[in-house]
Amino acid sequence: MYYNYMKVAEKDDAVSGILEEEYRRSREVLAALSKKLAHYPKGSLNIRKKAYKGKEYAYHYLVARNQGRVVNRHVPKAELPHLKQQLEERDKCRKEIQAYRKRIAYLEKLL
């Protein structure tokens, strides 16, 4: 009787060393990105339109949660471009964090 046994490859020290190094580096990058994310404003930018004396006015405000409550903060026109840029950078940072979390989970399976 012949059984077809599956050959199991042994762990290669060089490969596992590279994977461990990548895992450590990914954890460091994730910590740095999380720290960077804390400095960006929280919330989303919305536009509210009001009608007053026959004219319609639009103004921007930032909606965020603060200690479980929803807070609306008016954003002056002068701050608007800077705030939009910060919110875009925050979104990019969040996407990077998500990618690094997936990478770390994959590396943990390999190690």
Looking at residue 13, its pLDDT comes to: 82
pLDDT given for residue 35 in this prediction:
96
In the chain, the amino acid numbered 19 is L
How confident is the model over 86-96, as a mean pLDDT? 96
pLDDT of 56 over the 90 cut: yes
8 A C-beta contact, residue 23 and residue 105: no
Mean pLDDT of the chain: 90
pTM of full prediction above 0.85: no
Angle, CA 11 vertex, CA 9 and CA 16 arms, to 5°: 140
Give the pLDDT band (50/70/90) at residue 64.
very high
- Answer yes or no: is pLDDT of 25 > 80: yes
Q: Are 48 and 59 in contact (CB under 8 A)?
A: yes
